[in-house]
């Protein structure tokens, strides 16, 4: 009895939960809020038997992970486009729509079948259309999506156990937020979760829900692994007048901290107050932290929610600008990308991506593109050029698409020259679909998912990212690594396809069959009958013919 109790108490003790909020006033006048909830559970994903006593880790998700032998799972649901040139980099990049990529465990037998079962399970779980991620929109990237967490050697060499799919058309709304916030240990009752009022959240310029599960090192020796569940919510608001407060933006105060968390903090980026203060925060921060990371120095005002809400006080961070904010451009992000459709008409088309490198050093990047089957990619037309000279890529991984079966998948590894723009362009042909394959609003067009740019930056200017070993933001303050992994999603594209006339299937079937019948009838006539001389005397009237018919019988 005692041992059982002890065992259970140990099981409760081995998971921890941290909630954080990073607030970053942007030079464009927008304010970026990044909520980060990290649950770490000292159990190993490859031992499904241990998934029995759940503490803070959500059971519904744990069941999905063990049933489908998931090693890593990354899901993002986003509404709106992140503007890199105006806002810098987000903490975690996500494309418009939904994106899911999963590493499976090597013990898996039929990966494609498991993937389709998994997307159906997740689709039900998160109320999104993830079940549309069938073979037509799923790829296995070779270089762009390496495991994020602890992974054995076997994963590094090949991409058999990964599946990636994106739904650029997916609309993200309240029904996606509700199941997502239910996974939080304190739900939305207390703590930072109590700020999630859908009516306010979906009024934002950019809104992104993230869910990432991966194995991480249990301790610094890294002999055993733990599971880390990271849930993030990024929102960018335009407060119209530059003054903002939690109450004004989320419609509520903070009145308590979630008692299940080990740490519950709010960080406000006040780097723009250096050297001259342009806004003042109230109440005053519990502490000011200066973080030097690589060549980037940032200053954060740190609030501990527990301290601020002690004795039943309500807590509201407000920022007041003493003089009107001067809208400025940010320091150009080191790498950014732009993508657009070229050409005209509904027959052919092209895509051009411009990739900017604003650094003084060369950079090796991986560019990944997934095109749906109905935009037939022409490999021969793929060109990479930098200021007029052709760039020879290091490696290309190209998997041609199949009609109604597989998308066109392209990964290119190449070098971005210092301070230059590299142009990637290619042509595609628009397919003619069957009338049943068009969506109800056929003339709206079809979406092409974001292209993805992956690289390792030598600098962290304008880039607040958690370190590789933990998604807890606070850990990034003590991170002393010198290179920073960056993933960038470009714009999604909208292409129109030629449409048939949806109103006349019967007419078309009738007309085409008539033409065939003309041929059949004429040839039948000419081959089964003989030429004879017409003898008028033998010609019988209709009446005689009918009589003859009766006589014979």
Partner 1 sequence: MAVSVVFCIIAGVICRLALFQTDLPIWLETKNEVVTPITAWERVEEGLALKKSMVSPYTGDVFHEVQPINSLIHLILFLKELSDFRTFLVLLKTIFTYSRLKSTPKMLHLDVKKYSVNVEDVLLKSKDLRSLPLIVVAVHVFNPYSISICLAKSTAVLSNLSIFIFIIRNIYKLDNLLLTTLFIAVSTYQSFYPFIFCLPVASYFYHVSFHSAAIIKHYIPSFGLFLFWFMLLLGISYSIEGSWTFLYSTYGFILNVPDLSPNVGVFWYFFTEMFEHFRVFFICIFQINSVIYSIPLAVKLKRSPVFFLYMMIFITSIFKSYPSYGDIGLCLSLLPLWKHTFSYMRNLFVVTCMYIVCTVFAPILYHLWIYAGSANANFYFAITLAFSAAQIFLVTDLLFAFLRREYDLYHGTNHKLENGKTTQVVLE
One of 520, 544, 547, 548 touching partner 1 (CB under 8 A): 520
188-207: contacts with partner 1 (CB under 8 A): none
Q: Measuring CA to CA, how many Å separate 448 from each of 136, 284, 490?
A: 12, 47, 11
Name which of 516 and 542 has its Cβ closer to partner 1: 516
Among candidates 210, 137, 207, which has minimal Cα distance to 168? 137
CB 263 within 8 A of CB 191: no
Among candidates 33, 82, 25, which has minimal Cα distance to 242? 25
Is residue 515 a contact residue for partner 1 (CB under 8 A)?
yes
User: For residues 89 and 93, what is the distance between their CA atoms, to the nearest angstrom?
Assistant: 8
What is the nearest approach in angstroms of partner 1 to the Cβ of residue 158? Answer: 17
One of 398, 444, 547, 548 touching partner 1 (CB under 8 A): 398
Instruction: Kindly write out the interface string for residues 286-325 of this chain, putting x where it contacts partner 1 by CB under 8 A and - elsewhere.
Output: ----------------------------------------
Name which of 5 and 533 has its Cβ closer to partner 1: 533
One of 274, 512, 544, 546 touching partner 1 (CB under 8 A): 512
One of 85, 379, 394, 419 touching partner 1 (CB under 8 A): 379
Is residue 390 a contact residue for partner 1 (CB under 8 A)?
no
User: For residues 46 and 149, what is the distance between their CA atoms, to the nearest angstrom?
Assistant: 14
User: For residues 208 and 177, what is the distance between their CA atoms, to the nearest angstrom?
Assistant: 10
What 8-state DSSP symbol labels residue 177?
Answer: H
Name which of 315 and 408 has its Cβ closer to partner 1: 408
CB 416 within 8 A of CB 400: no
Name which of 323 and 380 has its Cβ closer to partner 1: 380
What is the nearest approach in angstroms of partner 1 to the Cβ of residue 440? Answer: 16
User: For residues 242 and 29, what is the distance between their CA atoms, to the nearest angstrom?
Assistant: 6
Q: Which stretch binds partner 1 (CB under 8 A): 39-47, 137-145, 213-221, 510-518?
A: 510-518
Q: Which stretch binds partner 1 (CB under 8 A): 32-40, 210-218, 257-265, 496-504?
A: 496-504
Name which of 443 and 553 has its Cβ closer to partner 1: 443
User: For residues 245 and 243, what is the distance between their CA atoms, to the nearest angstrom?
Assistant: 7
User: Could you tell me how many residues of this chain bind partner 1 (CB under 8 A)?
Assistant: 56
At residue 116, the 3 state secondary structure works out as helix
Instruction: Kindly write out the interface string for residues 216-235 of this chain, putting x where it contacts partner 1 by CB under 8 A and - elsewhere.
Output: --------------------
Is residue 400 a contact residue for partner 1 (CB under 8 A)?
yes
Q: Which stretch binds partner 1 (CB under 8 A): 70-78, 139-147, 477-485, 495-503?
A: 495-503
Name which of 109 and 506 has its Cβ closer to partner 1: 506
Name which of 274 and 346 has its Cβ closer to partner 1: 346
Measured over the CA atoms of residue 425, residue 335, residue 489 and residue 456, the dihedral's sign is positive
**Strand-pair partners of 208:** 78, 234
One of 9, 219, 324, 380 touching partner 1 (CB under 8 A): 380
What 8-state DSSP symbol labels residue 406?
Answer: B
From the CB of residue 479, how many other CB atoms can be counted at a distance below 10 Å? 18
Q: Which stretch binds partner 1 (CB under 8 A): 53-61, 123-131, 316-324, 512-520?
A: 512-520
Is residue 529 a contact residue for partner 1 (CB under 8 A)?
yes
Among candidates 372, 397, 362, which has minimal Cα distance to 143? 397
Q: Measuring CA to CA, how many Å separate 100 from each of 121, 123, 150, 451?
A: 13, 11, 19, 14
Q: Which stretch binds partner 1 (CB under 8 A): 32-40, 236-244, 309-317, 528-536?
A: 528-536
Cis peptide before 256 (omega within 30 of 0): no
Count of all residues that appear for the chain in the document: 553
Name which of 534 and 549 has its Cβ closer to partner 1: 534
| Greatest extent of the chain over all pairs of C-alpha atoms, in Å | 121
Q: Which stretch binds partner 1 (CB under 8 A): 177-185, 317-325, 482-490, 497-505?
A: 497-505
Q: Which stretch binds partner 1 (CB under 8 A): 209-217, 326-334, 398-406, 461-469?
A: 398-406
CB 78 within 8 A of CB 209: yes
User: For residues 134 and 116, what is the distance between their CA atoms, to the nearest angstrom?
Assistant: 7
Tell me the three-class secondary structure of 51-114, residue by residue.
CCCCCCCCHHHHHHHHHCCEEEEEEEEEECCCCHHHHCCCCCCCCCEEEEEEEECCCCCCHHHH
One of 311, 536, 550, 553 touching partner 1 (CB under 8 A): 536
What is the nearest approach in angstroms of partner 1 to the Cβ of residue 514? Answer: 9
Instruction: Kindly write out the interface string for residues 418-447 of this chain, putting x where it contacts partner 1 by CB under 8 A and - elsewhere.
Output: -------------xxxxxx-----------
Strand segments, DSSP code E, in 92-191 are 97-104, 138-139, 162-167
Task: Give the residues lining the site for partner 1 (CB under 8 A).
Answer: 344-348, 373, 376, 378-380, 396, 398-405, 408, 431-436, 498-501, 504-505, 508-509, 511-512, 515-516, 518-520, 522-536
């Amino acid at each position: 009895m005692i041992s059982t109790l002890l065992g259970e108490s140990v099981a409760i003790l081995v998971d921890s939960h941290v909630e954080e909020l990073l607030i970053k006033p942007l030079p464009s006048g927008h304010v970026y809020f990044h909520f980060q909830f990290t649950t770490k559970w000292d159990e190993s994903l490859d031992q499904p038997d241990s998934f029995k006593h759940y503490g803070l880790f959500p059971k519904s998700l744990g069941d999905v992970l063990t049933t489908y032998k998931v090693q890593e799972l990354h899901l993002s649901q986003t509404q709106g486009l992140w503007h890199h040139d105006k806002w810098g980099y987000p903490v975690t990049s996500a494309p418009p729509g939904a994106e899911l990529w999963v590493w499976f465990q090597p013990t898996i037998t039929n990966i494609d079948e498991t993937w389709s079962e998994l997307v159906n399970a997740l689709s039900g779980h998160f109320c999104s259309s993830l079940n549309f991620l069938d073979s037509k929109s799923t790829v296995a990237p070779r270089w762009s999506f390496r495991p994020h967490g602890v992974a054995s050697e076997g994963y590094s060499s090949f991409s058999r156990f990964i599946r990636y799919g994106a739904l650029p058309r997916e609309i993200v709304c309240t029904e996606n937020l509700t199941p997502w916030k239910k996974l939080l240990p304190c739900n939305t009752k207390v703590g930072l979760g109590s700020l999630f009022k859908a009516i306010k959240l979906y009024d934002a310029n950019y809104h992104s829900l993230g869910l990432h599960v991966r194995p991480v090192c249990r301790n610094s020796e890294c002999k055993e692994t733990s599971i880390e569940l990271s849930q993030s919510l990024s929102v960018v608001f335009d407060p119209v007048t530059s003054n903002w407060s939690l109450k004004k933006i989320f419609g509520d105060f903070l009145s308590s901290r979630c008692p299940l968390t080990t740490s519950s903090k709010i960080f406000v980026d006040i780097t723009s107050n250096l050297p001259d203060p342009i806004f003042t925060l109230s109440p005053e921060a519990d502490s000011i932290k200066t973080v030097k990371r690589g060549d980037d120095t940032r200053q954060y005002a740190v609030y501990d929610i527990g301290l601020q809400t002690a004795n039943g006080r309500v807590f509201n961070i407000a920022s007041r600008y003493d003089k009107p904010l001067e809208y400025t451009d940010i320091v150009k992000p080191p790498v950014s990308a732009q993508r657009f459709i070229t050409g005209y008409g509904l027959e052919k088309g092209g895509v051009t991506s411009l990739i900017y490198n604003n650094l003084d050093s060369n950079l090796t990047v991986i560019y990944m593109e997934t095109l749906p089957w109905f935009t037939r990619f022409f490999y021969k037309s793929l060109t990479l050029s930098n200021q007029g000279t052709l760039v020879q890529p290091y490696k290309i991984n190209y998997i041609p698409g199949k009609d109604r079966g597989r998308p066109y998948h392209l990964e290119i590894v190449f070098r971005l020259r210092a301070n230059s723009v590299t142009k990637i362009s290619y042509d595609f042909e628009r397919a003619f679909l069957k009338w049943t394959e068009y969506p109800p609003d056929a003339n709206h067009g079809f979406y092409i998912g974001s292209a993805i740019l992956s690289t390792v930056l030598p600098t962290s200017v304008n880039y607040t990212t958690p370190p590789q070993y933990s998604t807890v933001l606070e850990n990034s303050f003590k991170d002393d690594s010198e290179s920073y992994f960056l993933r960038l999603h470009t714009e999604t594209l909208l292409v129109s396809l030629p449409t048939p006339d949806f109103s006349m299937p019967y007419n078309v079937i009738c007309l085409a069959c008539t033409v065939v019948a003309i041929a059949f009838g004429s040839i039948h006539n000419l081959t089964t009958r003989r030429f004879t001389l017409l003898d008028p005397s033998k010609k019988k009237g209709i009446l005689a013919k009918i009589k003859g018919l009766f006589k014979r019988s």
